[in-house]
Amino acid sequence: MIFKRDDLKLGMILGLFAPVIGFLIFKWYKFGIFSMKEFLQFLYVEPGFRTLSAALSLSLLANAVVFTLYINAEKDKTAKGVFITTAVYGFVILLIKTFA
């Protein structure tokens, strides 16, 4: 079972894919009537990238859920991998918010 493994690589993989799922949930909830292509075009042309930074920030909540699951299961190596990828995502989001 995936929740029984305690592996840094697994945590980093989960940390990479959880925000993608969170991003898709954000798209479905807020922009459900638009196609993915239209949604991405809107994110690209919107002045200030406000929706993009909001979507990315909210997508990190998926990492928080995964991180909490592994901390509570005392799988510290996996949780560390999730945290590392969360920090990288957070840094990229900070760059987007600061320089866009």
Digit-coded pLDDT (tens) for 43-70: 888 887 788 888 888 888 999 999 999 9
Judge whether residue 9 has pLDDT over 70: yes
User: Is the Cβ–Cβ distance between 58 and 26 less than 8 Å?
Assistant: yes
What percent of the chain clears pLDDT 90, i.e. is strictly above it? 62
What is the reported pLDDT for 72? 92
CA distance 4 to 70: 9
State the angle between helix axes of 8-30 and 76-99 in degrees (0 to 180), rounded to the nearest 10.
Answer: 50
Tokens standing for residue 32:
């459900």
DSSP state of 74: T
Backbone angles phi, psi at 6, to 5 degrees: -125, 90
